[in-house]
């Protein structure tokens, strides 16, 4: 018997400050008009307060709409054809999806366009590329670093080495951005075992000298270009990352014994 150990919590507007994972989206917080669970209309008003309204790859303005029947078109086709993103009210999953559209609009548009291109080219179901695109969209994180050895350590599952022994350097030379809206949702009630799929990215040191807002914009543009040029062809391009091991993402990981849990911090051989 399968037991669902995780259920989304009720809406709480104070979530913004509960985890470092939400910090890249904090610029949106002051734009909300009230403390109620945002509706599609409220999200559209928020989009209108941004310098640039998000668009699809075809240039159609994105609008969040109440969950609708999409029998005529599949979800990705519906967005591509209309610019409408079905968004359920009082639903954390769809709320975070909207936030990612607002924070990383170019990448979300590129992912949507890549889905459409993959649908056109494949006659055998979803295909591996659509699996990879969906995995990143739902569960992806971006680990950006100017230090290739730190990225290689994560690729090799050297969790204790990178998260603890190289802790200070990791915080200085790397950053972790959550992109997948399912991971954002689960970080509302984090649990040991919570694992994301990481895109490991090497960028020059100059990137880390930029203000966070500029880092986000540059990262969005870089990711969109990579996806448009064919990145994420296989799910295996994304590496497992036990996100609660990232320094400060769990109040308990300030002790080295935290990383002794090999059921969570699994070696590469497992």
pLDDT tens string 57-91: 999 999 999 876 555 568 999 999 999 999 998 89
CA distance to 63, 66, 82, 106, 140, per residue, from 57 (Å): 14, 22, 11, 8, 21
* The pLDDT of residue 1: 38
Alpha-carbon distance of 14 to 102, in angstroms, equals 19
Q: Is 82 exposed, middle or buried (0-12, 13-18, 19+ CB in 10 A)?
A: middle
Contact 101, 108 (CB under 8 A): yes
pLDDT at 125 over 90: no
Q: How confident is the model at residue 124 (pLDDT cuts 50, 70, 90)?
A: low
Q: Is 105 exposed, middle or buried (0-12, 13-18, 19+ CB in 10 A)?
A: buried
- Range 170-189 average pLDDT: 97
Contact 228, 118 (CB under 8 A): no
Q: Where are the alpha helices (DSSP H) in the chain?
A: 40-48, 75-82, 92-103, 105-121, 127-139, 148-155, 159, 167-173, 181-186, 212-228
- Range 157-175 average pLDDT: 98
* The pLDDT of residue 2: 44
* The pLDDT of residue 7: 79
Alpha carbons within 13 angstroms on the beta-carbon side of residue 55 total 8
Higher-pLDDT residue of 30 and 201 is 201
pLDDT at 101 over 50: yes
* The pLDDT of residue 160: 97
Q: Is 86 exposed, middle or buried (0-12, 13-18, 19+ CB in 10 A)?
A: middle
Rounded to 5 degrees, φ, ψ at 150 are: -70, -40
* The pLDDT of residue 210: 96
Lowest mean pLDDT among 42-46, 139-143, 192-196: 42-46
Could you give the 3-state DSSP secondary structure of residue 22?
helix
Structure tokens at 87: 């968004």
24-29 long-range Cβ contacts below 8 angstroms, 24+ apart: 24/103, 24/177, 24/178, 24/212, 24/216, 25/99, 25/102, 25/103, 27/103, 27/213, 28/99, 28/102, 28/103
* The pLDDT of residue 3: 47
pLDDT at 38 over 90: no
Q: Are strands 63-66 and 195-202 parallel, antiparallel or unpaired?
A: unpaired
Q: How confident is the model at residue 32 (pLDDT cuts 50, 70, 90)?
A: confident
pLDDT at 155 over 70: yes
Alpha-carbon distance of 196 to 193, in angstroms, equals 10
* The pLDDT of residue 174: 98
* The pLDDT of residue 91: 92
């Amino acid at each position: 018997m399968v037991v669902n150990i995780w259920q989304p919590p009720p809406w709480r507007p104070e979530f913004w400050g509960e985890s470092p994972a939400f910090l890249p989206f904090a610029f949106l917080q002051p734009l909300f008009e009230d403390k109620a669970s945002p509706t599609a209309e409220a999200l559209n008003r928020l989009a209108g307060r941004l310098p640039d309204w998000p668009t699809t790859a075809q240039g159609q303005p994105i609008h969040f709409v109440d969950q609708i029947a999409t029998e005529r078109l599949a979800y990705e086709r519906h967005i591509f054809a209309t610019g409408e993103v079905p968004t359920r009210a009082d639903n954390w999953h769809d709320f975070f999806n909207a936030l990612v559209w607002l924070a990383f609009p170019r990448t979300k548009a590129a992912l949507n366009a890549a889905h459409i291109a993959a649908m056109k080219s494949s006659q055998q179901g979803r295909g591996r590329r659509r699996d990879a695109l969906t995995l990143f969209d739902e569960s992806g994180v971006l680990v950006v670093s100017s230090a290739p050895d730190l990225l290689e350590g994560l690729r090799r599952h050297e969790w204790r080495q990178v998260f603890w022994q190289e802790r200070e350097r990791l915080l200085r030379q790397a950053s972790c951005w959550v992109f997948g809206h399912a991971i954002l949702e689960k970080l509302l009630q984090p649990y040991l075992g919570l694992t994301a799929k990481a895109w490991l990215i090497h960028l020059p040191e100059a990137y880390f000298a930029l203000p966070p807002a500029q880092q986000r914009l540059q990262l969005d543009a870089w990711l969109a270009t990579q996806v448009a040029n064919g990145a994420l062809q296989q799910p295996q391009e994304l590496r497992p990352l036990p996100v609660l091991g990232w320094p400060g993402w769990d109040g308990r990981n300030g002790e080295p014994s935290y990383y002794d849990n090999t059921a969570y911090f699994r070696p590469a051989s497992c």
